Chains A and B, each alone.
Chain A
Amino acid sequence: GAVVSQHPSWVICKSGTSVKIECRSLDFQATTMFWYRQFPKQSLMLMATSNEGSKATYEQGVEKDKFLINHASLTLSTLTVTSAHPEDSSFYICSASAGKRSYNSPLHFGNGTRLTVT
C-alpha cells in the first residue's frame, strides 16, 4: 500500500532556530501534499496545501513566512518552521494523495513530527 514517510519523528530545538520537516511519498507520486498541526488532545488542523511546482496555499491564520513549504518534486514536500518559538511546539503531520483530484482518494499520512522548542 501507499506509504508516506515523515522525518524526523521528533525534534527538540532552541528558540530562534529553524527546523525542517520532510514528507516523502515512497511508492506513489503525490501531486498534492497537506500539512497539519495537532495540539495535544485536539483534532488535526490543516495548515497548508502543497502543490508540486507551485506555491503552497495557506489556511487563514497560518503565517506563510513562519511556516515555509516547498514541494520541489512529486515525492517530497518540506515544512520549515523558521525562528521557532515555544508556542510552535506541536505535532506536525503531513499527508499525501495519489489522485490529482485528491478529494476522493484516501489520504495517506506520515507518522508525524513532534516538535519541542525550548
Chain B
Amino acid sequence: RKEVEQDPGPFNVPEGATVAFNCTYSNSASQSFFWYRQDCRKEPKLLMSVYSSGNEDGRFTAQLNRASQYISLLIRDSKLSDSATYLCVVNRVGTASKLTFGTGTRLQVTL
C-alpha cells in the first residue's frame, strides 16, 4: 500500500464549479500535512498547510480527518488558472524533513 494515495483524475470541471479532492495516508502517526500544486512541466509549489481544525485561504479550503486518515482540498469558484496537478503531502514520522508526496490529482478547468 502506498503511503499517500490520491485519485489521479483528471477532474474536468467548468469554470465557476466547486471541486473537491481527497487523499488518504497510511501512517497514523504522520504529523504534518500539505497540499502542493504543480503546473504542467513545472516544479511543485506549496499551496497550503492542512491543520486539524481545517483552514481556508480564499477559494481554497483544506481539512484533515485523523480518524479516517484522509485529507481533503476544496476549491470553490474554479478558475482556468486553477488547472494543475494537486499533490497531497505528508511528513514522515520521526523527521519533519522528509516529505512523502502523493502522485497527484490532475484538475482541468474549462470554459
**A and B together in one complex:** no
Binding site for A on B (CB under 8 A): none
